[in-house]
């Protein structure tokens, strides 16, 4: 019976007291029936403690707090009807019986404490859902404490009440403190500890206690969380960059990442250098040059737009293909290929443009370089449509020829 | 430019920054401020504690690399370290996609050219 009751109380700790209360009601009934055989259990059909006891709430609380006939608290004494007195008397009469009854129960005092806590919270009207949750570990810890005092005389009732309060608060603080301490070692417990802390707002000194434990930790916790986030991102990057997972050490890994980004950008012909680089755009961007080189039969109706734009010249020439890395070849090929296609007029014009306005082209080129043109789709679309930015390729050619 | 805009999908910080840069350049306003605008902001955000086991010199090294990465990634100047890494990952992915697409296109065009000629 007792273990059933304790387990029931322990399991239903998330703020719904009705199952626990129901079980404790049954306990009350049994105890009462034991204490007073004439007690009518049917009168306890009500769903609350007070209905069970047939007493107003505060007196029920008092009774729970002081199961013995000991000193009833002043408030209860002031407003106690005869029924309450009778009840207390009954309890007093059978005090010895209750004591003896307690022994076989083993933990009935714990039941009373539990009931007291529930009633405490019921009267306090606090959102004791998490408190109940915090209590259940405390409650489970309590049985040994109370078991150690089986023959506690009844008059301990009065000090019991404040002690019970302290106990429950202490247990709660213990739970919170334990959690905050474990949070020191383990950031994953930080959030539950924080929640526990915020839920303990109702009891002031518990709040203070936990806060003290956590105040110094909050910074380090935040720091640790941040660092872990950053390390997680670093791991992601390591996976992205080939060959990075073997490298240990933040700086080296970052080195690899930077190299990878730079190589990719170079392949797509992207430049992030701010200002001066007339010659820095070395033609090792195979892909863009290749694409520029290879555009056989693509419509150039958009040429007009291109020419009218800042730096009109398109990626040109069908003639030269692969070895685009050779600038001189480029130049010669572009020159040579002009004869081949209907685009013929374009390059000469472009050349002309370039020669006439070298500065303009160079500035444009600088601008474009700073713009980090991404050339894949740029070349493709430039072939199809208009794209002034793609001119960088031809500009580079032209610059080379100029040089 | 249109292609660069194509790369600059809108859902990412770096792509937005890239687009902004492109638009600025297209309009001809060569604003060099975009290159190094919010360094101070970034330094304040970083706080200097990157690696778990970072000593003083290592932290400085790591910091330097983070700054370099910021310069590489478009729009990275303004980002904190954590966000920077996120953007870098996405940027790397996008670049890789672009590179592979370019390679494919180049191969195709090569084939076309060879067929033609």
pLDDT tens column, A77-103: 444 444 445 445 454 454 444 444 444
The shortest CB-CB distance from B1 to any of A226, A236, A389 is to A389
Q: What one-character DSSP code corresponds to residue A13? A: -
**Of A69-78, A107-116, B51-60, B62-71, which one has max mean pLDDT?**
B62-71
Contact A272 B3 (CB under 8 A): no
Which tokens sit at A153? 């005389």
Using the predicted structure, report yes or no on whether residue A382 has a pLDDT greater than 60: no
If one compares B40 and A30, the residue with the highest pLDDT of the two is A30
pLDDT tens digit sequence for A31-65: 556 555 554 544 444 445 444 444 554 554 555 55
To which residue do tokens 């980004």 refer?
Answer: A261
B111 touches chain A (CB under 8 A): no
Report angle CA A240, A243, A248 to the nearest 5 degrees: 100
A365 within a domain of the structure (yes/no):
no
pLDDT of residue A118: 54
A150-156 CB contacts, 8 Å cutoff, 24+ apart? A150/A102, A150/A103, A150/A109, A151/A99, A152/A109, A153/A68, A154/A66, A154/A67, A154/A68, A154/A69, A154/A70, A154/A92, A154/A95, A154/A99, A155/A68, A155/A70, A155/A71, A156/A68, A156/A70
Search chain B and give the residue with CA nearest A229.
B82
Q: What one-character DSSP code corresponds to residue A311? A: T
Contact A233 B105 (CB under 8 A): no
A274 within a domain of the structure (yes/no):
yes
Mean pLDDT over all residues of chain B? 75
If one compares A243 and A377, the residue with the highest pLDDT of the two is A243
CA distance linking residue B106 with residue B100, whole number of Å: 10
What is the CATH classification number for the domain harbouring A286?
4.10.280
Using the predicted structure, report yes or no on whether residue A67 has a pLDDT greater than 70: no
Which chain A positions have a beta carbon within 8 Å of B81's beta carbon? 230
Using the predicted structure, report yes or no on whether residue B86 has a pLDDT greater than 60: yes
Residue in A338, A320, A342 with CA at minimum distance from that of residue A329: A320
> What is the separation of C-alpha A46 from the centre of its chain, rounded to a whole number of angstroms?
44
Search chain A and give the residue with CA nearest B19.
A371
Using the predicted structure, report yes or no on whether residue A124 has a pLDDT greater than 80: no
pLDDT of residue B117: 77
Q: What is the CA radius of gyration of chain A?
A: 42
Contact B101 A377 (CB under 8 A): yes
If one compares A389 and B83, the residue with the highest pLDDT of the two is B83
Contact B3 A237 (CB under 8 A): no
To which residue do tokens 């734009």 refer?
Answer: A309
Confidence of residue B29 (pLDDT cuts 50, 70, 90): low
The shortest CB-CB distance from A387 to any of B1, B36, B113 is to B1
pLDDT tens digit sequence for A360-376: 444 444 444 444 444 44
pLDDT of residue B24: 82
**Of A2-6, A23-27, A295-299, which one has max mean pLDDT?**
A23-27
CA distance linking residue A209 with residue A171, whole number of Å: 12
To which residue do tokens 């792509």 refer?
Answer: B15
Q: Which residue range forms the structural domain that includes residue A274?
A: 219-292
> Side-chain half-sphere of A384: how many Cα atoms within 13 Å?
7
If one compares A357 and A216, the residue with the highest pLDDT of the two is A216
CA distance linking residue A130 with residue A169, whole number of Å: 13
A187 touches chain B (CB under 8 A): no
pLDDT of residue A288: 58
- Give the predicted TM-score (pTM) of the model: 0.38
Q: Nearest-CA distance from A340 to chain B in Å? A: 12
A117 within a domain of the structure (yes/no):
no
Which tokens sit at A35? 């204490």
Total domains in the fold of chain A: 1
Which chain B positions have a beta carbon within 8 Å of A321's beta carbon? 110, 113
The answer to which of A284-293, A334-343, B60-69 has the lowest mean pLDDT is A334-343
CA distance linking residue B64 with residue A41, whole number of Å: 80
Q: Nearest-CA distance from B41 to chain A in Å? A: 18
A258 within a domain of the structure (yes/no):
yes
A265 within a domain of the structure (yes/no):
yes
Contact A264 B72 (CB under 8 A): no
pLDDT of residue B61: 85
Confidence of residue A7 (pLDDT cuts 50, 70, 90): very low
Could you give the maximum distance between any two Cα atoms of chain A, in Å?
Answer: 123
Contact B109 A294 (CB under 8 A): yes
A198-203 CB contacts, 8 Å cutoff, 24+ apart? A199/A127, A199/A129, A199/A130, A199/A131, A199/A134, A200/A130, A200/A131, A200/A134, A200/A172, A200/A173, A200/A176, A202/A124, A202/A126, A202/A127, A202/A128, A202/A131, A203/A131, A203/A169, A203/A172
pLDDT of residue A292: 59
Section A146-160 average pLDDT: 47
B104 touches chain A (CB under 8 A): no
Q: What one-character DSSP code corresponds to residue B107? A: H
Search chain A and give the residue with CA nearest B47.
A223
Contact A254 B52 (CB under 8 A): no
Chain A, window 204-243: residues with a beta carbon less than 8 angstroms from a chain B beta carbon: 223, 226-227, 229-231, 233-234, 236-237, 240-241
Using the predicted structure, report yes or no on whether residue A279 has a pLDDT greater than 50: no
pLDDT tens digit sequence for A204-227: 554 444 445 545 678 888 888 888
Residue in A129, A104, A119 with CA at minimum distance from that of residue A1: A104
CA distance linking residue A136 with residue A126, whole number of Å: 16
Q: Nearest-CA distance from A102 to chain B in Å? A: 57
Q: What is the 3-state secondary structure (H, E, C) of B31-91?
A: CHHHCCCCHHHHHHHHCCCCCCCCCHHHHHHHHHHHHHHHHHCCCHHHCCHHHHHHHHHHH
Using the predicted structure, report yes or no on whether residue B92 has a pLDDT greater than 80: yes
pLDDT of residue A333: 43
Chain B interface, best mutation among A221, A234, A254, by max B CB count within 10 A: A254
A247 within a domain of the structure (yes/no):
yes
């Amino acid at each position: 019976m007792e273990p059933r009751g304790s387990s029931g109380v322990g399991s239903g700790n998330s703020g719904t007291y009705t199952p626990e209360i129901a079980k404790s009601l049954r306990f009350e009934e049994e105890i009462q029936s034991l204490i007073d055989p004439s007690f009518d259990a049917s009168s306890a059909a009500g769903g609350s403690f007070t209905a069970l006891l047939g007493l107003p709430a505060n007196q029920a609380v008092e009774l729970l707090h002081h199961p013995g006939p000991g000193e009833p608290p002043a408030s209860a004494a002031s407003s106690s009807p005869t029924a309450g007195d009778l009840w207390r008397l009954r309890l007093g009469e059978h005090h010895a019986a209750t004591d003896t009854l307690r022994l076989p129960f083993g933990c009935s005092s714990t039941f009373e404490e539990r009931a007291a806590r529930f009633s405490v919270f019921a009267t306090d009207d606090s959102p004791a859902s998490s408190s109940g949750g915090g209590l259940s570990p405390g409650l489970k810890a309590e049985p040994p404490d109370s078991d150690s005092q089986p023959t506690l005389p009844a008059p301990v009732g009065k000090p019991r009440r404040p002690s019970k309060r302290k106990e429950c608060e202490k247990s709660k603080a213990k739970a919170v403190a334990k959690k905050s301490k474990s949070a020191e070692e383990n950031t994953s417990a930080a959030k539950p500890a924080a929640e526990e802390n915020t839920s303990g707002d109702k009891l002031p000194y518990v709040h203070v206690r936990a806060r003290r434990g956590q105040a110094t930790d909050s910074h380090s916790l935040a720091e640790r969380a941040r660092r872990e986030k950053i390390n997680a991102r670093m791991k992601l990057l390591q996976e992205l960059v080939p060959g990075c997972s073997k490298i240990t050490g933040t700086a080296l890994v970052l080195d690899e990442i930077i190299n990878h980004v730079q190589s990719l950008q170079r392949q797509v012909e992207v430049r992030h250098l701010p200002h001066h680089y007339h010659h820095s755009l070395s033609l090792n961007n195979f892909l863009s040059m290749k694409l520029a080189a290879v555009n056989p039969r693509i419509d150039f109706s958009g040429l007009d737009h291109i020419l009218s734009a800042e730096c009109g010249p398109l990626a040109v020439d069908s003639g030269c293909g692969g070895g685009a890395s050779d600038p001189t070849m480029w130049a010669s090929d572009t020159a040579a290929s002009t004869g081949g296609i209907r685009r013929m007029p374009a390059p000469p014009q472009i050349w002309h443009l370039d020669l006439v306005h070298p500065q303009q082209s160079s500035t444009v080129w600088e601008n474009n370089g700073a713009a980090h043109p991404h050339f894949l789709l740029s070349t493709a679309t430039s072939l199809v449509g208009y794209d002034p930015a793609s001119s960088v390729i031809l500009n580079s050619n032209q610059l080379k020829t100029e040089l | 430019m249109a292609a660069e805009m194509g790369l600059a999908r809108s859902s990412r910080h770096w792509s937005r920054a890239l687009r902004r840069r492109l638009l600025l350049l297209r309009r001809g306003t060569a604003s060099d401020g975009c290159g190094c605008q919010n360094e101070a902001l970034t330094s304040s955000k970083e706080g200097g504690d990157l690696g778990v086991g970072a000593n003083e010199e290592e932290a400085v090294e790591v910091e330097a690399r983070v700054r370099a990465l910021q310069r590489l990634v478009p729009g990275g100047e303004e980002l904190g370290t954590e966000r920077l890494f996120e953007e870098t990952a996405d940027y790397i992915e996008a670049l890789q996609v672009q590179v592979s697409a370019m390679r494919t296109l180049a191969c195709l065009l090569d084939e076309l050219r060879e067929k033609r000629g």
